[in-house]
Structure 1
Amino acid sequence: MSRPVSWLFRAGELAAEAGLALRDAKRSYRTLPRESWHRMRTDAFGADPRGGRLHRVRNSPHFVDGSFRNPVPTRRLAYGHTPLALMRTRLTSDQGRRSPSAAVPVHRLLPADLSEPPASGLRLTWLGHATVLAELDGVRVLFDPVWSERVSPFDWIGPKRLHPVPLPLSELGPVDVVVISHDHYDHLDMATVRALAAGDAVFAVPLGIGAHLEHWGVSPRRIVDLDWWESVELDGLRLTATPARHYCSRGPRPSGKFLWSSWVVEGKRHRLFHSGDTGWFPGFADIGERFGPFDATLMQVGAYSEHWPEVHLTPEEAVQAHRDLGGKLLVPIHWGTFDLAPHPWEEPAERTVAAAHAAGVTVAVPRPGKPFEPADPPPVKLWWRAVAAAPSGADLLVPDGLAPGVPDSPAALTAPRARTPRWPPPGRPARRARRRPGRHGQAPGHQVRRRPPRFREARPGRRARTVPRPGRRGPPVLTPAGGSSRLT
């Protein structure tokens, strides 16, 4: 089957799946009471800020003309990239490369693994995507907790997990502080928040996000809303909301009243940075000057695309941001758990390790659920290659056995890879300008991009008007009243 035909079949399959999902949703709507359907439909979307929370939002210096603004001008989609282009990229990308070919080797985390305090005072456990448990100077901090199977307002549609959670939430133990970076579904999960609300944790969130938590049953006394550069003291830690280059969006409600942020956590002996979701901007250097150096930076390295280059870091940009922050150990997060962008599943890890080694940056890429202490980082083991769908030896940037922190032929590691164009699909010729024999005074074979317009002769007392050919627009030509527009 040729590539264009298979592309059309794939588009038909996606349309059929969407139709079946809508049909099932319609049946569910008919069988549920109206109150239950309304509650299911709106709860995951959260709520708008009100009262004192809304007053703080409107008085923020970063709230301009009814919405929060990024520290630098930012577009959610690159100029000229439309939703149709996004769909085209999704359909023409290699679907088999966007998920692992076998089960991800998740480390089954046991409560005994976390029972003893870390010897150095700082221990990190990456639980998948942007969820990280940090045990810092005797305090347990949980970043962007997501335990649901899908990151979506519904449990029947949306990006699904590519690997299980390393341990059930019930076995995690007590958490002192929960930190949320923004309200996207892959960072703020309603079911997880409701489960954590049963404990005694305090929730630190950017301005406006507390409205979602309060709507889901979290006590307002346990919610701390912070603007950029604001800090709060919790259990001996100092948490500061720092700028990020991103946006908020959760369901059909307006998103201008919800802030996004990165986070700085300072203890008595250690400092930690969590990027949340962000594009690169010069503010990383400012954060590093104010709060650095950091024992570890948890940097978003996945879900990037040429369609939204300003709101997500590429792996190379994450390494540069880590250096701007003055970080000691780079821990890549936000990759490998959900399929959120058209890049191959293993590519963020490959590119991060390659860029880190080329820049002389120490990096740790543990398996999900494997605890480690930044004071003694584990060696880089390319564990993802065993389950990646890439052909043997293809698109691999890091030589096997490369020692952590030691660059090895940086030019080879950072050399750009040859990429096949995503459009037109292979086998389909690109559209060419039509060639015509010599016409309109042009040489034979000249590429004519459009025909010249036809003109009607102006009647006395009227202006000449242009009559373009069907489907084409010609330049307007005006002549004095009573004159002629005929070309001579």
Structure 2
Amino acid sequence: MSDVRFTHIGGPTVLIEFDGWRLLTDPTFDPPGRTYGFGWGTSSRKLTGPALPAAGLGPVDAVLLTHDHHGDNLDVAGRLLLTAATTTITTSSGARRLGGTARGLKAGQSTRLEAPGRPAIEITATPCRHGPPLSRPITGDVIGFALTWPGQMHGPLWITGDTVYHRALHRAAAAIRPGTVLLHLGGVGFPLTGPLHYTMTARQAVRLCGAISPHTILPVHYEGWQHFRQGRDGIERDLRRAPQQVRARFHWLPTGSAEHLQL
């Protein structure tokens, strides 16, 4: 059994600590108020700042960066933090842009984190589609991460990354059989593209999680930015209509304080 400490800093940014490891997802530490361009005429304003400052974070062994080209997953302060982390694991295209110690993965590829006195972590990239069909040339490469290490009781930890529900995601999740899912939600949309979604809605998440039955579902990246169409209230409203066996598995992490979970 693994005792894992999760600290939700805001947006997609979570500090994950266990057995001496300190991993950070998608670092976003800029203050609120700035508008960030996402390309092709889309943009969004950051509405809330991080619950913890980057300066008080302490050492980070690895950054798990789902993609480097959108400011709500990697902002200016987050980029500075990358230089202090031992390594960054991200998309192949992102690793080429970042250089340095960045390791690039494509969906299905794996890498390992190893250090004396700590369990080795196997990290496998999972597929993401950050928008409707055929949107990849516009939205760019994105991956999620499945983390496996000795002692996990319920199965791997899966970080979905920014993605909508699609067949490749379902197939990957069924193969992983995750015990805990760090689930990117929010139903992202933009005025320019009308009703199209660029991340999962709660209804899509219920469909996915109902098929794979993880032990624990931890929603993240659903508020704090102008482009989210479904915040916590909307997610909870849809969850009330979901099957009890799925609804009961959702757990909201507090923002800014650590919570211990058994994985």
Over the matched positions of the two proteins, sequence identity in percent amounts to 23
| 1:284–1:324 contact (8 Å) kept in structure 2 | no
Structure 2 residue aligned with 1:44: none
| 2:5–2:261 contact (8 Å) kept in structure 1 | yes
CA separation of 1:267 and 1:281: change in aligned 2, threshold 3 A = same
Q: Does 1:330 align with 2:209?
A: no
| Partner SS for 1:142 | strand
Residue 131 of structure 1: how far off its partner (Å): 1.1
Structure 2 residue aligned with 1:308: 196
| Partner SS for 2:261 | coil
Structure 1 residue aligned with 2:76: 190
Q: How does 1:102-121 map to 2 (within 5 A)?
A: 120-121=2-3
- What TM-score, normalized by structure 1, do the two folds share? 0.45
| 1:142–1:177 contact (8 Å) kept in structure 2 | yes
Structure 1 residue aligned with 2:88: 203
Q: Does 1:244 align with 2:244?
A: no
CA separation of 1:238 and 1:120: change in aligned 2, threshold 3 A = closer
Structure 1 residue aligned with 2:165: 280
One of 259, 281, 299 as aligned partner of 2:141:
259
Structure 2 residue aligned with 1:298: 182
Structure 2 residue aligned with 1:348: 235
One of 245, 254, 257 as aligned partner of 1:367:
254
One of 55, 61, 64 as aligned partner of 1:176:
61
CA separation of 1:204 and 1:325: change in aligned 2, threshold 3 A = farther
Amino acid at match of 2:252: V
Structure 1 residue aligned with 2:16: 134
Bigger fraction of residues in helix: 1
Amino acid at match of 1:228: A
**4+ residue stretches of structure 1 with deviation over 6 A?**
none
CA displacement, residues 408-440 of structure 1 (integer Å, 9 cap, x when unaligned) = xxxxxxxxxxxxxxxxxxxxxxxxxxxxxxxxx
Structure 1 residue aligned with 2:117: none
CA separation of 1:189 and 1:337: change in aligned 2, threshold 3 A = same
| 1:180–1:203 contact (8 Å) kept in structure 2 | yes
One of 138, 152, 171 as aligned partner of 2:36:
152
CA RMSD of aligned residues (A): 2.9
Bigger fraction of residues in strand: 2
- What TM-score, normalized by structure 2, do the two folds share? 0.79
Q: Alignment length, in residue pairs? A: 240
Amino acid at match of 1:316: R
C-alpha distance in structure 2 between counterparts of 1:316 and 1:258, whole Å: 24
Amino acid at match of 2:62: V
For the pair shown, the structure with the greater C-alpha radius of gyration is 1
Residue 226 of structure 1: how far off its partner (Å): 0.7
Unaligned runs of 5+ residues in structure 2 are 115-119
| 1:151–1:186 contact (8 Å) kept in structure 2 | no
| Partner SS for 1:148 | coil
CA separation of 1:366 and 1:293: change in aligned 2, threshold 3 A = closer
Amino acid at match of 1:366: L
Q: Which has the higher contact order (CA 8 A, sep 6+)?
A: 2
CA separation of 1:162 and 1:349: change in aligned 2, threshold 3 A = farther
CA separation of 1:257 and 1:351: change in aligned 2, threshold 3 A = closer
| Partner SS for 1:208 | helix
Amino acid at match of 1:122: V
| Partner SS for 2:242 | helix
| Partner SS for 2:196 | coil
